[in-house]
Amino acid sequence: MKKIVIVGAVGGGATAAGQLRFYNPDVQIIVFDRDSTMSYAACGTPYIIGDVIEDEQSIVLTNPEKFKKKRDIDVKLEHDVIEIDRAAKKVLVQNLETGDQFEESYDALILAPGGSAIVPKIEGLDSSQVFTLRNFEDMQRIDRFIKNKKPESCIVSGGGFIGLEMAENLKNLGLDVSLVHRSPAIMSILDTDISLIIEKELAIQGVKLLTGTEMVKTDGKTIKLSNGIELHADFIIMSVGLRPNTGLAVKAGLKIGETGGIQTNEFMQTDDPSIYAIGDASENFDMVTGDPKRVPLASPVHRQAFIAARHILGSKIAKKGLLGTSVLKIFSLTAAMTGLNEKTIKDKNLEYATVTHNGISNASYYPDHSKITLKVHYNPQTRKILGAQCIGGKGVDKRIDVIVTAIYAGLTIDDLQALELCYAPPYSSPKDPINMVGYKAINDN
């Protein structure tokens, strides 16, 4: 009987375990995780803190007892895998509660160790109340602090997904929120013109935004920035980036790719065919360019878990690459993107053209409609779509989902005008923004 050991029991690890059991009732599956909670929806944690989701246990999908009873999978929490013996196909595990160590053999090993929040070295940071948000326990610590200490102000450092989601949720709690971001524009995965729309929304909602600067010194509740400005805040949320947890892989001699993740092939295998890597710490490849790519988001890891599990069980279903499709709520706005942004296209010296449509989400005479901006980059010679971004009040996600499908299917920018999409006044227009982008591109040809 084949034995599979999995390191990590959150999105990737728990999903891989479930897939393995679904497709094979006989394999032995053991999952280890150093945290005390498994299989929780990490993307929901900012909304627990913001009281949008009232019950914190609602984002915990299962526990070891339920997993064992329902799927016959052994999950050992507060157990840290500290070493891999590739030759003997064994891992060394430490029980974090007792300190005891033991070995566990494997036929296949899946690494889903996730990532850790980056906390930069800042003078005096230990004197301030600082939080990161990477796991369930982090969420609980922030939530308890807000409820018990009743803070009035916060600085969020970093204008990425977590930073913006936390800024919104903390502002909605009534806190005075300042958002500090090192780059000139927030959300660097977006084109600058799209980012500026988000910045305007933050200003409207009362979030103080300081870009092109960073924290250099803190003294309790006083925070000094590199531009000389001093801010005062009761606590700091540090969300400047994610470091993939590759220490175990490095120690085992597995190859690390140029993005800093554990290098994998189209079946999520590392350079050791018995060891797979999925999730935030794994490196795969870009669907558009074929270049190395790492996407620490939920949707890709679930797909990677399926591919790894199926390959271990003998089915070769290859991953076709990563697009980095993502969506973000910022107060009344939604922003989404897929594929390459303008900066990446330019950095790679790719030939491209861009078509932008400023329209509305659905029929203008219908009372519930909003402005929408859809921007698509494409190769003017092959007409293949390179990437897209969309921002507006409603219907943003479905437009990007259509573009994702078009890229996956190999459609051209010109094909978009021919798509017969859903129409009724509450939902769209007879010529959807997707169609309009296609028509405009044809006119530019």
Q: Which residues have a catalytic role annotated?
A: 43
Q: How far is CA 341 from the centre of its chain?
A: 16
C-alpha dihedral sign at 149, 152, 156, 159: positive
- The residue count for the chain: 445
Q: What is the CA radius of gyration of the chain?
A: 23
DSSP 395: S
Give the span between the Cα atoms of 442 and 429, in whole angstroms. Answer: 20
Q: What is the largest CA-CA distance in the chain?
A: 69
Pairing of strands 333-339, 326-330: antiparallel
Among 171, 253, 181, 172, residue whose Cα is nearest residue 215: 181
Give the span between the Cα atoms of 218 and 388, in whole angstroms. Answer: 39
Query: Could you identify the residue written with the tokens 């900012």?
Result: 46
3-state secondary structure of 262: strand
Q: How far is CA 414 from the centre of its chain?
A: 30
The kind and range of the H/E element at 85 are strand 79-85
Among 35, 40, 77, 76, residue whose Cα is nearest residue 57: 40
